[in-house]
Amino acid sequence: MTDTERVSRFILDKNHFKAGHAKFRAFDPPPAEIALSVSRTEGLSDSQVWDHGDVHVARPSGRQIVARGDFTREDARAVQAGGCQLDIEPEEPPPLHANVIGYPSIEQKELRKSLAQQLVAKVVAVARPSQT
């Protein structure tokens, strides 16, 4: 995986995308986890990215995609605080799946939030086009 490869975090909660901006909470892993799921979308067309998210992220969770946040491994690695540094590590299945790693456990919740806030400041947020 190169430093400039694009990955996408699909946003399923409407409260995590407001006024064209992704919220940091969409980039904070679930409490029991220390990694954040993303998809390796480099090279996919825009419609292919949404289709991939529908099949591998939205459908299994029974929810709908509201938006996505695109960023690179370089962006993730630039996020550091409290001795933690984020990075991206491919992990399949499902296809094209990867994890943003480097988050501490929930006992350091404030640090996790800080890392999420720094990461979301680097992403390019893309709203899901309205479907007809």
Which 3 state secondary structure label does DSSP give 113? helix
Size of the site for other proteins (CB under 8 A): 20
- Cα-trace Rg, the chain: 14
* Among the listed residues 7, 11, 12, 22, the single contact to other proteins using CB under 8 A: 22
118 counts as binding other proteins under rule CB under 8 A:
yes
Candidate list 5, 25, 65, 85; residue touching other proteins; CB under 8 A: 25
Task: Please tell me whether residue 77 binds other proteins under the rule CB under 8 A.
Answer: no
Which strand (E) or helix (H) includes residue 69? Answer: strand 67-72
128 near other proteins, judged by CB under 8 A = no
Task: Confirm or reject binding of residue 12 to other proteins (CB under 8 A).
Answer: no
User: Phi and psi (nearest 5°) for 5?
Assistant: -65, 135
By the 10 Å C-beta count (0-12 exposed, 13-18 middle, 19+ buried), 4 is classed as: exposed
Residue 91, SS3? coil
Q: In a 10 Å sphere around its CB, with 0-12 CB exposed, 13-18 middle and 19+ buried, how is residue 67 labelled?
A: buried
Of the candidates 82, 90, 94, 95, which one interacts with other proteins according to CB under 8 A? Answer: 82
Provide the minimum distance between the beta carbon of 115 and other proteins in the complex, in angstroms, as a whole number.
8
Q: Which is nearer to other proteins, 30 or 94 (CB)?
A: 30
The footprint of other proteins (CB under 8 A) covers 15, 21-25, 30-31, 81-82, 106, 109-111, 113-114, 117-118, 120-121
